[in-house]
Amino acid sequence: MRVMTVKLCYFAWVRERVGKGEEVVELPEGIGSVADLVAWLRSRGPEYAAAFQRADVIRAAIDRTHVKPTAAIAGAREIAFFPPVTGG
Amino acid sequence: MRVMTVKLCYFAWVRERVGKGEEVVELPEGIGSVADLVAWLRSRGPEYAAAFQRADVIRAAIDRTHVKPTAAIAGAREIAFFPPVTGG
Amino acid sequence: MAVRVQREPFDIGAEVARLIAGRTDIGAVVTFSGLVRDVNDGRRVTAIWLEHYPGMTEEELARVEAEAQLRWPLQASLVMHRYGKLSPGETIVLVVTASAHRQAAFEAAEFLMDYLKTRAPFWKKEEMGAQGGQWVEARQSDDAAAARWDRR
Amino acid sequence: MAVRVQREPFDIGAEVARLIAGRTDIGAVVTFSGLVRDVNDGRRVTAIWLEHYPGMTEEELARVEAEAQLRWPLQASLVMHRYGKLSPGETIVLVVTASAHRQAAFEAAEFLMDYLKTRAPFWKKEEMGAQGGQWVEARQSDDAAAARWDRR
């Protein structure tokens, strides 16, 4: 089975709920989009379920560029999840 | 005959054409508005005729407040004439 | 809430620092600085001479500032304008607005500049070296910029 | 044309002075400073903690700045943003724009702030003394402010 290794980063309350700022994971086959990845993450345990419960408000970036949930993750080295930004 | 004594101030190219920055004048009766005053000034000599030739672009202030040509001058202590402002 | 008309240069950092010193209720500060350019409408400018109407200048700037405070919830504001001879690169005018939120600060600063440009009794003469001097003509675009606030 | 992300405070006067030093083609400089307020939406705030995404923050701010330069004729621009712990009255963000004319400088500064607010990866946590901390929720008004530039 082909696996994809990717670094995941979490920020703000997503980070607090997951309980870590980053991790390297091996993704099983069949995870094509950011939305697929979120669904898979939710199945990894209660801390992930809590962090990704409000999937509609979670934003994502692939290799430091904002992306939509439908974005393909093929080739990504770093995928980040975070709440809507509140800087400025 | 009732005369009105008033200080007149000139700025920018109005000042340069009149040849002075200010003067005190006694106005004859019958000068009710700023426009009347401009017409009277134009009759005072070639330097005034040159300064007030383009009466439509000349602005006026009575006692340091912008006014229109139709403004009454009764009671004015200081009347100023100048081109459209170009500060900032 | 202050208006200052002076020959001397001003220090934007010091003015902003003074405005916000000890305040913890201000969320947004906008500044506008207007500078002398060495080329204006294609003419080479070596210096400008700013004439003004002492007395009326301060009163008119205060009226413009009071109007801005009526229209926006400003916590502080400052309008400074220089007169006399200024060289390219020098600051002519400084407007500072402070508010809880950024939209009010931005709008009030634009309003102050637009109104000041059409109301404050200043006149610029451009010096062009050997070619002498020339009074700057008022811009229709400045009238249009000021007029957009009439609708509000 | 510069972006800086840092813990340390910045000096608005020094930044503007550096931006315009030796320039005689700039006619207008607009600055926006965003400050920490001690009350936000009725909540008493003793300090804020700004988390960011190192690496992406700089890249995203540079993209926002590049977009502003495409849209307006800017002669210089600067975006500075702090992270870490900040107290009420401290400056969080500084945007500076310079152009020949004031409208471009004002619009570009507003655009930079609106875009930065919805795109730069920063997250604020408010500390409220004994009541602990709370992540600030994004404002719909910020999305609306950013969306107004989409039509152009």
Chain B residues closer than 8 Å to C111 by CB: none
Distance of CA B71 to the CA centre of its chain: 12
Q: Which amino acid is at C141?
A: S
Is the pLDDT assigned to residue D43 strictly greater than 90? Answer: no
Binding-face residues of B in 4-23 toward C, CB within 8 A:
9, 11-13, 15
Mean pLDDT of D62-72: 97
Tell me how far apart the alpha carbons of residues D126 and D108 are, in angstroms, rounded to a whole number.
29
Mean pLDDT of C49-58: 98
Which among D13, D20, D32 is the nearest to C30, CB-wise?
D32
Mean pLDDT of B50-65: 95
Tell me how far apart the alpha carbons of residues C46 and A57 are, in angstroms, rounded to a whole number.
57
Tell me how far apart the alpha carbons of residues C42 and C50 are, in angstroms, rounded to a whole number.
20
Query: What do you get for the CA distance between the two ends of chain C, in Å?
Result: 23
Interchain pair D124, A87: CB under 8 A: yes
Is the pLDDT assigned to residue D140 strictly greater than 90? Answer: no
Coil, helix or strand for C110?
helix
Chain B residues closer than 8 Å to C135 by CB: 12-13, 83, 86
Tokens describing residue C72: 């926006």
pLDDT digits (tens, 9 = 90+) for C100-123: 999 999 999 999 999 999 999 999
CB-based contacts of B54: which residues, under 8 Å, 6+ apart? Answer: none
User: Given CA atoms B60, B62, B64, B65 in this order, what sign does their dihedral have?
Assistant: negative
pLDDT band at D151 (very low <50, low <70, confident <90, very high): low
C79 φψ region: left (φ > 0), alpha (ψ -120 to 50), beta (else): beta
Chain mean pLDDT for chain D: 94
Which among C46, C125, C132 has a CA at the least distance from the CA of B14?
C125
Backbone angles phi, psi at C148, to 5 degrees: -65, -20
Q: Inform me whether the C-beta atom of residue C51 falls under 8 Å from chain B C-beta atoms.
A: yes
User: Which pLDDT score, from 0 to 100, does residue C116 have?
Assistant: 96
CB atoms closer than 10 angstroms to residue A19: 13
Is the pLDDT assigned to residue B16 strictly greater than 80? Answer: yes
More confident residue, B23 or D43: B23
Strand partners of residue C77: C97
Tell me how far apart the alpha carbons of residues D112 and D108 are, in angstroms, rounded to a whole number.
6
Mean pLDDT of C145-152: 82
Mean pLDDT of B1-10: 86
Mean pLDDT of B4-32: 97
Interchain pair D106, C105: CB under 8 A: no
Q: Is this complex's ipTM strictly greater than 0.90?
A: yes
Interchain pair D17, C13: CB under 8 A: yes
pLDDT digits (tens, 9 = 90+) for D83-97: 999 999 999 999 999
Closest CA in chain A for residue D60: A65
Burial label for C42, CB within 10 Å (0-12, 13-18, 19+), is exposed
pLDDT digits (tens, 9 = 90+) for C16-39: 999 999 999 999 999 999 999 998
pTM of the model: 0.94
